[in-house]
Amino acid sequence: MASYAFPKSHRLLTSGDFQAVFADAPVRASHKHFLILARPNGESHSRLGLVIAKKHIRLATRRNRLKRLIRETFRHQQPTLGGIDVIVLARKGMDELDNRQLHDQLDGQWRRIARKAQKSTDTTPTG
């Protein structure tokens, strides 16, 4: 049975972790309300980083709601994602989606990221 925990080891914590994804993100999924960047991390599990700017989402309660929903959908999709580092960047208007819409949109994007990441690792030459 898959574990849906979200321990510290499954988070991008340092600026170096974030910079590595920003500098080299071969897998991208764009949406009107958010952008997802991903790259292989060489580990057996995926890690998540969030960039929810106050500039785009003014109210702290709305930023926190978005973070909770993004983490929840990520935890449920983790087994299918494999070993990738992922950053989710919020865009203006993301907080206007209700929970169901946001959940549906994110689930679709996680599946898209998983497919792209799998293709990316399949086409990478070995040794």
Rounded Cα distance between 42 and 52, Å, is 26
Residue 117 confidence (pLDDT) above 90: no
DSSP helix/strand/coil, 66: helix
Nearest Cα neighbor of 38 from 120, 94, 122 is: 120
Predicted pLDDT of residue 3: 65
pTM comes to: 0.89
Predicted pLDDT of residue 99: 95
35-72 pLDDT, tens per residue? Answer: 999 999 988 899 999 999 999 999 999 999 999 999 99
CATH (one of 3.90.110.10, 1.10.287.3510, 3.30.230.10, 3.40.50.150) for 13-117: 3.30.230.10
Please state, rounded to an integer, the average pLDDT across all residues of the chain. Answer: 90
